[in-house]
Amino acid sequence: MTVSSATVPTLTLNDGHEIPQLGFGVFLVPPEETQRTVEQALEVGYRHLDTAQMYGNEAGVGAAIKASGLPRDELFVTTKLDNGHHLPDDARRTFAESLDRLGLDRVDLFLIHWPLPTRYDGDFVSTWRTLVELRDGGGTTSVGVSNFEPEHLDRIIEETGEVPAVNQIEVHPYFTNEAARAADAHHGIATEAWSPIARGGISGDPTIGAIAERVGRTPAQVTLRWHLQRGDIVFPKSMHRERMQENFALFDFELSDDDIRAIAALDQGESGRTGPNPNTFDLIRG
Ligand code: NDP
């Protein structure tokens, strides 16, 4: 089946803007291979790109966007504030640098990458205020957060009255992260599920494999479809064109409610995480 970018549904964020529910992530795509990789993803049909200052590959994303010749309004571009840049002046300065590297005068979404509750005297609120200011200045259409736990969300909303458009958190069959998803839903925040296929870890799973065999799809497709039917936004990463195509072909089959429940039952709680716990993660690269 040929899938066109028009097939990808959009969700409406709480600020009224639309986001494609399926995109392409570039975590761990080496800077020197990013342009080629993103060009391939755009050829396959992806129109939503997820990068970050921390990934060191914004320039490659920007080069691919430029080379594609695609109209700006057909693309949805997200980047994220690095952990070392939470102070308001650093956030403003490095946001401008991100736009420069991306070759854009505006991104669609800018996120605080990690809350870092043990850094900056626990003050992620002034960082959040700065992102809101950047949005109001027109540099980013929407603003949101990433890796925010329910208590972090409560705090920024209570102290600023500004509700993030999205919360990008780890979610996959082995770490379904229901508490954070429920907090997002409670506030009307869209959940973006990072590492949606557990970094490839779902490939040999017997439960997912059995469903995949029954519906005639691959384990990755079944898992990505599971996210979409639960209403989350995903942007799987791959450096292989055939996998980019596989991960994009999600719109001509459906999982049953029983399938959705069986996959959710694979949750292993805290031990299912592939990444760090946001309450203790404090990495700042020098
Ligand atoms: P994913 O769950 O998307 O898995 C990517 C891995 O799975 C790669 O090793 C890839 O290998 C492999 N893979 C891709 N497609 C398939 C397939 N069809 N079958 C089998 N294996 C496959 O992990 P990511 O951590 O990359 O998460 C996705 C995106 O989420 C990131 O790129 C980033 O944009 C975002 N993210 C955000 C974080 C945050 O803190 N906000 C943290 C982590 C990720 P190969 O490339 O060789 O094909």
pLDDT tens digits along 176-205: 999 999 999 999 999 999 999 999 999 999
10-199+231-238 is a CATH 1.10.1050.10 domain: no
Residue nearest to atom 11 of ligand 1 (CA): 238
Distance 27 CA to ligand 1 centre (A): 7
**Distance (Å, whole) CA 20 – CA 244:** 16
Residue 55 known to be catalytic: yes
Backbone angles phi, psi at 6, to 5 degrees: -70, -15
Run of H or E residues at 90: helix 88-102
Report the share of the chain in percent with pLDDT over 70: 99
236 lines ligand 1 (CB under 6 A): yes
Which residues sit opposite 146 in a β-bridge?
A: 168
CB atoms within 10 A of CB 158: 9
**Distance (Å, whole) CA 74 – CA 97:** 23
Mutation probe of ligand 1 site: the residue of 237, 243, 274, 283 with most atoms within 8 A of C-beta: 237
Query: Residue 3: what pLDDT?
Result: 64
pLDDT tens readout for residues 105-114: 999 999 999 9
Domain ranges of the chain: 10-199+231-238
210 to 154, 214, 245: CA distances (angstroms): 40, 6, 22
CA nearest to 263, candidates 139, 200, 176, 193: 176
> Which two tokens mark 46?
């992806």
CA nearest to 95, candidates 157, 125, 138: 138
Per-residue pLDDT band at 1 (split at 50, 70, 90)? very low
Report the share of the chain in percent with pLDDT over 90: 97
Query: Residue 124: what pLDDT?
Result: 98
**Three-state SS for 235?**
coil
